[in-house]
């Protein structure tokens, strides 16, 4: 398994912190540098064992790294890739962990002489920060790697191998296909969960139980991170929402006409897809 | 704490089985009789320790019981209350565990000389059957008890005390208020979860992660049980759905106009209500 000399992680929260923990626990890097804006968060990440060294300067952190992983909110990623690319070692690889890909990849590929390949580990949570990080976060999880016709094959292979070395399975997709797919499997569910929570009258919250709690759990996620994701993937999310609303209309029609047969069909179809996933 | 001589449970699945386990573990009944249609399920419930004795005859099981708890699917409850009432001891109490209340209570209160008080323990699950039953299912959970102007105060008190003795908190509501509230906090979430699962293209299921899994978990619930619930509470569920769709429209408008401020507001409102509940 390929090991790295120095890996720099920009943004040491849940995802960045977990990458650091996994690299260190699996001895995949000689040194992991955590880069961030707030010294206090960095100190905490170091104390938790997520990184060996810390710095608030991207220039400083990037200049000795052979791999740089950008784990900041989606609106900042392209800018951080740019800054890192200006200082990193020749031949260094850069990837990210953003939940949207088309905008980020298009911006990053405009940079000259940078070997950037986009990634998205499907390992988010409603929890944030390196307190929630764990070395096995990627174990058995899926990571989408979004090489393009501009990518060097060797760079895509290396980024794929990087995620595999953390325990993940890798699926390759184009940035556009990724965004269309994740609109259905991640961004729409977040929107639905948030809308359901917001639509529940406050005085009825004591009457919620595990069903409501499961269905709305991800609405507790960081609102600012999700604002950025929805803005970056608005068109695909709208399309997924329209498809969802078609199913919702069929449920409405079944309720309005007290059509038990249609209700049974709709419920069976939902159950069939949910059962196919498990957990 | 009041103890019972003989408690009969009609329908020994997740809820009925858990009531039996709790009664026996807490020594709240001298004897628990499980009543059901299928001998095989009853044998399993007895083997698991949910009940002491079993019978496929409601007449047989009810005739020595001072408390009868009907835990069958909502469409069967009124009929089972009627059958039990024809055979139970004078002064016996009957309650149920149905997820809807107005129809059931109206039907059961038409019966003469029966002390029936409706209940709904908010302790459902996507799992079914007495395999999933546990003695602490009601510990810290909420049970709604729906006495009416026709109920004897003493009977309502006794049913309240019964659920409290299993570890639950009790909230008293009218059957109509219950159905309107649970449409928002339980029935609509199920509909949403099911619609979201059904709207997810099959080929994208490998790209789902914990967010989708949480949001759709209850869609794995028994489709037939839920068909009955939706038919019994269609009007209130439609009203809750209309309120949800208003929030969904605001999300759609925010995405269409790429309005980050409105998105942030909506996400913050969802998060605020979700955070208020915890877990």
Average pLDDT, chain A: 96
pLDDT digits (tens, 9 = 90+) for A181-212: 999 999 999 999 999 999 999 999 999 999 99
Q: Do A208 and B275 touch (CB under 8 A)?
A: no
Mean pLDDT value of segment A70-85: 96
A-B contacts (CB, under 8 Å): 290
pLDDT at A114 over 80: no
pLDDT value of residue A112: 65
Using a CB-CB cut-off of 8 Å, the residues of chain A touching B190 are 211
DSSP letters for chain A: ---EEEEEEES-SHHHHHHHHHHHHTT-EEEEEEE-S-HHHHHHHHHTTS-SEEES-HHHHHTT-SEEEE-S-HHHHHHHHHHHHTTSPTT-EEEE--S--HHHHHHHHTSTT-EEEEEEES---S--SGGG--TTTTTT-EEEEE--TTS-HHHHHHHHHHHHHTT-EEEE--HHHHHHHHIIIIIHHHHHHHHHHHHS-GGGGGG--HHHHHHHGGGGS-HHHHHHHHHHTHHHHHHHHHHHHHHHHHHHHHHHTT-HHHHHHHHHHHHHHHHHH--
pLDDT at B112 over 70: no
Per CATH, the homologous superfamily of domain B4-173 is NAD(P)-binding Rossmann-like Domain (3.40.50.720)
Q: Do B195 and A124 touch (CB under 8 A)?
A: no
Q: Is A202 on the interface with B (CB under 8 A)?
A: yes
pLDDT digits (tens, 9 = 90+) for B263-278: 999 999 999 999 999 9
pLDDT at B238 over 80: yes
Q: What is the ipTM of this complex?
A: 0.94
Ranges for all domains in chain B classified under CATH 1.10.3660.10: 178-277
Q: Do B231 and A260 touch (CB under 8 A)?
A: yes
Q: How far is B135 from chain A (nearest CA, A)?
A: 17
Which of B234, B270, B277 should we substitute to test contact with A (largest number of A Cβ atoms within 10 Å)?
B270
Using a CB-CB cut-off of 8 Å, the residues of chain A touching B144 are 207
Ranges for all domains in chain B classified under CATH 3.40.50.720: 4-173
Q: For the ranges A263-272, B15-24, B104-113, which has the lowest average pLDDT? A: B104-113
pLDDT digits (tens, 9 = 90+) for B160-198: 999 999 999 999 999 999 999 999 999 999 999 999 999
Give domain A178-277's CATH architecture.
Answer: Orthogonal Bundle (1.10)
Q: Is A153 on the interface with B (CB under 8 A)?
A: no
Q: CA-nearest residue of chain B to A219? A: B271
Report A:125-144 residues touching B (Cβ under 8 A): 125, 141-142, 144
Q: Do B217 and A212 touch (CB under 8 A)?
A: no
Using a CB-CB cut-off of 8 Å, the residues of chain A touching B246 are 199
Q: Do A277 and B208 touch (CB under 8 A)?
A: yes
């Amino acid at each position: 398994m390929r090991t790295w000399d120095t890996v720099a992680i920009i943004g040491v929260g849940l995802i960045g912190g977990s990458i650091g923990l996994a690299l260190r626990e699996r001895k995949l890097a000689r040194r992991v540098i955590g880069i961030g804006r707030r010294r206090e968060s960095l100190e905490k990440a170091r104390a938790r064992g997520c990184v060996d060294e810390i710095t608030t300067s991207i220039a400083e952190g990037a200049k000795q790294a052979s791999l740089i992983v950008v784990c900041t909110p989606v609106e900042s990623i392209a800018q951080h890739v740019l800054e890192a690319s200006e200082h990193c070692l020749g031949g260094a690889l850069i990837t990210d962990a953003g939940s949207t890909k088309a905008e980020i990849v298009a911006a990053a590929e405009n940079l000259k002489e940078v070997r950037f390949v986009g990634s998205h580990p499907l390992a988010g949570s409603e929890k944030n920060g390196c307190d929630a990080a764990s070395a096995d976060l990627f174990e058995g999880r899926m990571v989408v790697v979004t090489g393009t016709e501009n990518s060097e094959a060797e760079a895509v292979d290396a980024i794929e191998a990087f995620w595999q070395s953390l325990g993940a399975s890798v699926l390759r997709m184009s940035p556009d296909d990724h965004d269309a797919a994740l609109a259905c499997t991640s961004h729409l569910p977040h929107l639905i969960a948030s809308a359901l929570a917001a639509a529940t009258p406050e005085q009825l919250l004591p009457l919620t139980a595990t069903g409501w709690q499961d269905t709305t759990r991800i609405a507790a996620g960081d609102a600012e991170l999700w604002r950025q994701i929805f803005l970056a993937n608005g068109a695909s999310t709208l399309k997924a929402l329209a498809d969802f609303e078609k199913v919702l209309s069929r449920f409405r029609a079944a309720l309005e006409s007290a059509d038990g047969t249609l209700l049974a069909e709709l419920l069976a179809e939902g159950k069939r897809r949910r059962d196919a996933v498990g957990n």
